[in-house]
Structure 1
Amino acid sequence: MIDTHCHLTAPQFDTDRDEVVKRAFDAGINKIVCVSDSLDDIGSCLRLAEEYAGIYATAGAHPHHAKKFDETADLEKIRKAAKNPKCRAIGEIGLDYHYMDSTKDVQKKMFRFQLELAKSLKLPAIVHCREAVEDIWSIVDEIDPGKMVLHCCTEEWEDVKKFIDRGYFLSFAGIVTYPKSDVVRDTVLNCPIDQLMFETDAPFLAPVPYRGKRNEPAYVIETAKAIADIKNMSFDELANKTTENALKFFGI
């Protein structure tokens, strides 16, 4: 099984990172994608990926950092990191209209640059979308990066169906286990199994029964159990199919 999106370089793991990785591997999570969320984070993700055979990295800048983005120097830093064979995607990139740490125009500019880079490098794009699904679609529809996943999807099915129709992926996190997440469960139900992945987004969004605690890759099993129930599949069937999806998506 694969945790397709977590942030193992986050400071929440500074005191026990190796133990967290061991727990994941012991639980049957044999591959983990450690996602960069800032330019400063890229090197740490790559070092962790080089330390563990089962960990892979990404390179990209989260929309929270858009106002500081230098389209020349920073894109070159991402491009250079992407040459590392353990770097398997560009991300996480996208738009976040909830916190608005940068204006919409500034965020969209950075998203375009990074999405075009993913396309030119023929690497998958890991896309963060919060309260911005129409602007995400407008840019993606124009650029079409090829492989793309909407990570930690919380959108209504009707809003993301067009991404599925284009051949992109949806990834679901622990939110699917929360009592008030009927919208997410409906999207899971409608999402074709061969375009579905799951993740922890650790250290955030721990699934039930760990909700409120620090999340970690081993807990992705709880999210998988919930999705298997929603899809009326056996756990093993879901695990095998989504692992196959992730291996193909990331080329690992």
Structure 2
Amino acid sequence: MVKMIDSHIHLDLYQEEQLEQLLSSLDSIEALITVSFHLHSCKKNLLIASKTNKIKVAFGYHPEQSLPDEASTEELFQWIRQNQHRMIAIGEVGLPYYLRKEHPELKLEGYVELLERFVLLAKELDKPIILHAVYKDASIVCDLLEKHSVSKAHFHWFKGDSSTIRRMADNGYFISVTPDVCYEKEIQELVEMYPIDQLMVETDGPWPFEGPFHGKMTHPVMIQSSIRQISELLNMSEQQIVTIVRDNVRRFFCL
């Protein structure tokens, strides 16, 4: 059986007992790409990665939180440069869609400026960039990527309109889908639209899911269900799908 790769997970956000359970049950998993929230998260993910060579780490600042002050930003960027050899990507970075829904008064400009700095850092370090950008925010991110000629971009758990989807596909950007592809029509339609050679799968754990996963701890093995659903949507065998998406992750992250 071809082993799978979880292209986006937050290992540092699991409770200690859950993390130990997860790491002890990875027989069907080739690799996990764990993304970071902030500097402390980066350091914690590095510590977790020391437990197994299956874990690959990305460094960044998650946008669904308050902006860091300038001193904290400089500290993070300096630390990333110093530890660039220990990461495979910049991430998770992007724009605060859900935070703005909760706080409509939140100004976007500072987040766009921070994201542009991360785009430039990814280009400087020649690393892929893992993005949190959904719906209308995705077009803003596409503008930044195009402005700086950065093409190695991964939009995780993407949702958006058809014109943005076509733009992203034409630019060669990758997307990934979570286990909600098993029950969300919007995500199923996205899979049918997007080029299969630019598709990855993820869990975004420990984020919980509904449908057949209700009440269960999010685990990378849930990718098996995503693969099964994608194979039905595209009328391809599960073996074909798992091989293609695994090879997509390997190619994108140079694993």
Whether TM-score is above 0.5 comes out as yes
Match for residue 214 of structure 1 among 206, 211, 217: 217
Match for residue 188 of structure 2 among 181, 185, 199: 185
Mapped partners of 1:235, 1:69: distance in 2? 47
Q: Where does residue 205 of structure 2 map in the other structure?
A: 202
Q: Where does residue 145 of structure 1 map in the other structure?
A: 150
Mapped partners of 1:136, 1:60: distance in 2? 16
Match for residue 12 of structure 2 among 5, 9, 22: 9
Mapped partners of 2:161, 2:241: distance in 1? 22
Q: Where does residue 180 of structure 2 map in the other structure?
A: 175
C-alpha deviation, 1:166, in angstroms: 0.8
Structure 2 letter corresponding to 1:77: W
C-alpha deviation, 1:74, in angstroms: 2.1
Are the aligned partners of 2:90 and 2:128 in contact in 1 as well (CA < 8 Å)? Answer: yes
Mapped partners of 2:196, 2:58: distance in 1? 24
Higher mean C-alpha deviation, range 47-56 or range 152-161: 152-161
Change (3 A) 1:163 1:69: farther
Q: Where does residue 76 of structure 1 map in the other structure?
A: 78
Per-residue CA shift, 1:103-132, capped at 9, x if unaligned?
201110110011110111110000001341
Mapped partners of 2:112, 2:21: distance in 1? 38
Q: Where does residue 63 of structure 1 map in the other structure?
A: 63
Mapped partners of 2:9, 2:243: distance in 1? 20
Mapped partners of 1:198, 1:184: distance in 2? 12
C-alpha deviation, 1:146, in angstroms: 2.8
Matches within 5 A, 1:1-252: 1-10=4-13, 12-23=14-25, 25-26=26-27, 28-65=28-65, 67-70=67-70, 71-84=73-86, 87-100=87-100, 103-131=107-135, 132-178=137-183, 181-206=184-209, 208-252=211-255
Q: What TM-score, normalized to structure 2?
A: 0.90
Change (3 A) 1:224 1:205: farther
**Cα RMSD for the two superposed structures:** 1.7
Higher mean C-alpha deviation, range 62-71 or range 187-196: 62-71
Higher mean C-alpha deviation, range 192-201 or range 146-155: 146-155
C-alpha deviation, 1:60, in angstroms: 0.4
SS in 2 for 1:130: coil
C-alpha deviation, 1:198, in angstroms: 0.7
C-alpha deviation, 1:66, in angstroms: 5.0
Q: What TM-score, normalized to structure 1?
A: 0.91
Per-residue CA shift, 1:122-155, capped at 9, x if unaligned?
1000000134122122212212323111101122
Give 5+ residue unaligned stretches, structure 1: none
